[in-house]
Structure 1
Amino acid sequence: MKIAVLGDKDTALGFKLAGAHEVYSFEDTPLDMERLKNKLNELVEREDIGIILITERFVQKIGLPDVTFPIILQVPDKSGSKFGEEAIKEIVRRAIGVELKR
Protein backbone atom coordinates (compact mmCIF):
# COMPACT_ATOMS: atom_id res chain seq x y z
CA MET A 1 0.00 0.00 0.00
CA LYS A 2 1.16 3.49 -0.82
CA ILE A 3 1.12 6.70 1.20
CA ALA A 4 -0.07 9.83 -0.60
CA VAL A 5 0.37 13.38 0.68
CA LEU A 6 -1.69 16.44 -0.24
CA GLY A 7 -0.40 19.74 1.09
CA ASP A 8 1.26 23.07 0.54
CA LYS A 9 4.70 23.13 -1.07
CA ASP A 10 6.62 23.05 2.23
CA THR A 11 4.62 20.17 3.69
CA ALA A 12 4.83 18.29 0.41
CA LEU A 13 8.59 18.73 0.24
CA GLY A 14 9.04 17.47 3.81
CA PHE A 15 7.04 14.32 3.18
CA LYS A 16 8.75 13.76 -0.16
CA LEU A 17 12.12 13.88 1.57
CA ALA A 18 10.76 11.51 4.22
CA GLY A 19 9.93 8.96 1.53
CA ALA A 20 6.18 9.29 0.94
CA HIS A 21 5.22 7.42 -2.22
CA GLU A 22 3.10 10.10 -3.90
CA VAL A 23 3.25 13.78 -3.00
CA TYR A 24 1.07 16.53 -4.43
CA SER A 25 1.55 20.24 -3.77
CA PHE A 26 -1.20 22.85 -3.96
CA GLU A 27 -1.47 26.60 -3.46
CA ASP A 28 -4.26 28.22 -1.47
CA THR A 29 -6.20 29.46 -4.51
CA PRO A 30 -9.73 28.60 -5.68
CA LEU A 31 -8.38 26.81 -8.77
CA ASP A 32 -5.92 24.73 -6.74
CA MET A 33 -8.59 23.90 -4.15
CA GLU A 34 -10.68 22.45 -6.98
CA ARG A 35 -7.65 20.50 -8.22
CA LEU A 36 -7.01 19.30 -4.66
CA LYS A 37 -10.60 18.09 -4.28
CA ASN A 38 -10.36 16.21 -7.58
CA LYS A 39 -7.02 14.64 -6.63
CA LEU A 40 -8.37 13.56 -3.23
CA ASN A 41 -11.38 11.91 -4.86
CA GLU A 42 -9.08 10.19 -7.36
CA LEU A 43 -6.80 8.87 -4.60
CA VAL A 44 -9.76 7.57 -2.56
CA GLU A 45 -10.84 5.46 -5.54
CA ARG A 46 -7.43 3.87 -6.07
CA GLU A 47 -6.84 0.45 -4.55
CA ASP A 48 -3.08 0.90 -4.16
CA ILE A 49 -3.40 3.88 -1.78
CA GLY A 50 -3.54 2.89 1.91
CA ILE A 51 -3.01 6.23 3.67
CA ILE A 52 -3.70 9.78 2.56
CA LEU A 53 -2.15 12.63 4.54
CA ILE A 54 -3.69 16.06 4.00
CA THR A 55 -3.00 19.34 5.76
CA GLU A 56 -5.57 20.53 8.30
CA ARG A 57 -5.86 23.91 6.58
CA PHE A 58 -6.86 22.29 3.30
CA VAL A 59 -9.37 20.00 5.04
CA GLN A 60 -11.03 23.10 6.49
CA LYS A 61 -11.45 24.44 2.96
CA ILE A 62 -12.58 21.32 1.05
CA GLY A 63 -13.77 18.84 3.69
CA LEU A 64 -13.16 15.10 3.65
CA PRO A 65 -15.00 12.28 1.90
CA ASP A 66 -16.80 9.84 4.20
CA VAL A 67 -14.75 6.69 3.61
CA THR A 68 -13.30 3.98 5.81
CA PHE A 69 -10.50 3.11 3.41
CA PRO A 70 -8.01 4.47 2.60
CA ILE A 71 -7.20 6.01 5.95
CA ILE A 72 -7.21 9.81 5.70
CA LEU A 73 -5.19 11.67 8.31
CA GLN A 74 -4.98 15.40 8.84
CA VAL A 75 -1.51 16.79 9.49
CA PRO A 76 -0.45 20.28 10.53
CA ASP A 77 1.35 22.50 8.06
CA LYS A 78 4.20 24.91 8.76
CA SER A 79 1.87 27.28 10.63
CA GLY A 80 1.13 24.60 13.24
CA SER A 81 -1.84 22.52 14.27
CA LYS A 82 -5.36 23.89 14.23
CA PHE A 83 -6.29 21.45 17.00
CA GLY A 84 -3.77 22.47 19.65
CA GLU A 85 -1.27 20.38 21.55
CA GLU A 86 -3.71 18.96 24.11
CA ALA A 87 -6.11 17.70 21.46
CA ILE A 88 -3.27 15.99 19.60
CA LYS A 89 -2.04 14.36 22.82
CA GLU A 90 -5.55 13.03 23.44
CA ILE A 91 -5.80 11.64 19.90
CA VAL A 92 -2.44 9.86 20.32
CA ARG A 93 -3.43 8.55 23.77
CA ARG A 94 -6.65 7.06 22.39
CA ALA A 95 -4.93 5.67 19.30
CA ILE A 96 -1.97 3.95 20.95
CA GLY A 97 -2.92 3.89 24.62
CA VAL A 98 0.09 5.90 25.79
CA GLU A 99 0.09 9.41 27.19
CA LEU A 100 2.77 11.69 25.77
CA LYS A 101 4.75 13.78 28.25
CA ARG A 102 7.21 16.56 27.64
Structure 2
Amino acid sequence: MEFAVLGREEFVLGFRLAGVTRVYAVQPEGFEEAILSIIDDSSVGILAVDAKDLSRVSANTRRKALESISPVVIQVGGDEGDLREKVKSAIGVDLYKTERD
Protein backbone atom coordinates (compact mmCIF):
# COMPACT_ATOMS: atom_id res chain seq x y z
CA MET A 1 0.00 0.00 0.00
CA GLU A 2 1.27 3.41 -0.94
CA PHE A 3 1.02 6.94 0.39
CA ALA A 4 -0.58 9.37 -2.08
CA VAL A 5 -1.22 13.11 -2.11
CA LEU A 6 -3.98 14.95 -3.96
CA GLY A 7 -4.42 18.68 -4.37
CA ARG A 8 -3.39 21.85 -6.12
CA GLU A 9 0.18 22.16 -7.38
CA GLU A 10 1.14 24.42 -4.46
CA PHE A 11 -0.12 21.84 -1.97
CA VAL A 12 1.57 18.79 -3.47
CA LEU A 13 4.93 20.43 -4.16
CA GLY A 14 6.32 19.87 -0.65
CA PHE A 15 5.31 16.21 -0.75
CA ARG A 16 7.09 15.80 -4.08
CA LEU A 17 10.22 17.34 -2.62
CA ALA A 18 9.96 14.93 0.33
CA GLY A 19 10.03 11.99 -2.06
CA VAL A 20 6.36 11.02 -2.29
CA THR A 21 5.90 9.40 -5.68
CA ARG A 22 2.11 9.10 -5.88
CA VAL A 23 1.32 12.79 -6.29
CA TYR A 24 -1.82 13.99 -8.08
CA ALA A 25 -1.81 17.70 -8.87
CA VAL A 26 -5.28 18.81 -9.96
CA GLN A 27 -7.15 22.05 -10.42
CA PRO A 28 -10.01 22.62 -7.95
CA GLU A 29 -12.64 21.73 -10.55
CA GLY A 30 -11.06 18.28 -11.04
CA PHE A 31 -10.62 17.48 -7.35
CA GLU A 32 -13.89 15.62 -6.79
CA GLU A 33 -13.44 13.27 -9.73
CA ALA A 34 -9.81 12.63 -8.76
CA ILE A 35 -10.54 11.82 -5.11
CA LEU A 36 -13.27 9.36 -6.06
CA SER A 37 -10.89 7.64 -8.46
CA ILE A 38 -8.08 7.41 -5.89
CA ILE A 39 -10.40 6.11 -3.16
CA ASP A 40 -11.22 3.20 -5.48
CA ASP A 41 -7.51 2.45 -6.08
CA SER A 42 -6.63 -0.55 -3.89
CA SER A 43 -2.90 0.21 -4.06
CA VAL A 44 -3.31 3.44 -2.05
CA GLY A 45 -3.30 3.00 1.75
CA ILE A 46 -3.14 6.63 2.88
CA LEU A 47 -4.32 9.67 0.94
CA ALA A 48 -3.40 13.17 2.09
CA VAL A 49 -5.61 16.00 0.85
CA ASP A 50 -5.88 19.71 1.55
CA ALA A 51 -8.75 20.34 3.98
CA LYS A 52 -9.84 23.37 1.93
CA ASP A 53 -10.17 21.28 -1.22
CA LEU A 54 -12.12 18.58 0.57
CA SER A 55 -14.53 21.16 2.00
CA ARG A 56 -15.49 22.22 -1.55
CA VAL A 57 -16.74 18.82 -2.78
CA SER A 58 -20.27 17.47 -2.48
CA ALA A 59 -21.44 16.17 0.88
CA ASN A 60 -21.63 12.59 -0.45
CA THR A 61 -18.06 12.66 -1.73
CA ARG A 62 -16.79 14.24 1.50
CA ARG A 63 -18.57 11.60 3.58
CA LYS A 64 -17.22 8.78 1.39
CA ALA A 65 -13.68 10.15 1.74
CA LEU A 66 -13.79 10.72 5.48
CA GLU A 67 -15.38 7.34 6.19
CA SER A 68 -12.98 5.47 3.93
CA ILE A 69 -10.93 2.82 5.69
CA SER A 70 -8.71 1.93 2.76
CA PRO A 71 -7.33 4.35 1.90
CA VAL A 72 -7.42 6.40 5.06
CA VAL A 73 -7.99 9.99 3.94
CA ILE A 74 -6.05 12.52 5.99
CA GLN A 75 -7.00 16.19 5.79
CA VAL A 76 -3.97 18.45 5.97
CA GLY A 77 -4.29 22.09 6.87
CA GLY A 78 -7.29 21.92 9.16
CA ASP A 79 -7.13 22.68 12.85
CA GLU A 80 -5.48 20.23 15.24
CA GLY A 81 -8.80 18.93 16.52
CA ASP A 82 -9.69 17.61 13.08
CA LEU A 83 -6.36 15.81 12.72
CA ARG A 84 -6.65 14.43 16.25
CA GLU A 85 -10.07 12.96 15.53
CA LYS A 86 -8.97 11.54 12.17
CA VAL A 87 -5.95 9.78 13.67
CA LYS A 88 -8.09 8.50 16.53
CA SER A 89 -10.71 7.08 14.16
CA ALA A 90 -8.08 5.62 11.81
CA ILE A 91 -6.06 3.70 14.39
CA GLY A 92 -8.44 3.54 17.34
CA VAL A 93 -6.10 5.30 19.78
CA ASP A 94 -5.93 8.94 20.86
CA LEU A 95 -2.21 9.66 20.43
CA TYR A 96 -2.61 13.17 21.85
CA LYS A 97 -4.22 12.05 25.09
CA THR A 98 -2.34 13.05 28.21
CA GLU A 99 -2.75 11.75 31.75
CA ARG A 100 -4.79 14.89 32.54
CA ASP A 101 -7.42 14.18 29.80
* TM-score normalised by the chain length of structure 1: 0.69
Identity %: 23
Displacement, 1:5?
Answer: 0.6
1:4 aligns to what?
A: 4
Gaps of 5+ in 2: none
In 1: Cα distance, 2:53 partner to 2:27 partner: 10
Aligned length: 87
Q: Which runs of 5+ in 1 are unaligned?
A: none
**How has the CA–CA distance of structure 1 residues 21 and 67 changed in structure 2, closer, same or farther, with 3 Å as cutoff?**
same
Instruction: Tell me by how many angstroms 1:19 deviates.
Output: 1.5
2:63, 2:49 → 1: CA distance? 10
1:50 alignment counterpart: 45
- Quote the residue 1:95 is aligned against: 94
Partners in 2 of 1:21 and 1:96 — Cα distance?
27
| Structure 1 consecutive aligned stretches of length 4 or more whose deviation exceeds 6 Å | none
Aligned residue type for 1:19: G
- TM score, norm. by length of structure 2: 0.69
Q: 1: distance between equivalents of 2:43 and 2:73?
A: 14
Q: Give the alignment's Cα RMSD to 1 decimal.
A: 2.4
Distance 1:39 1:4 in 2: 12
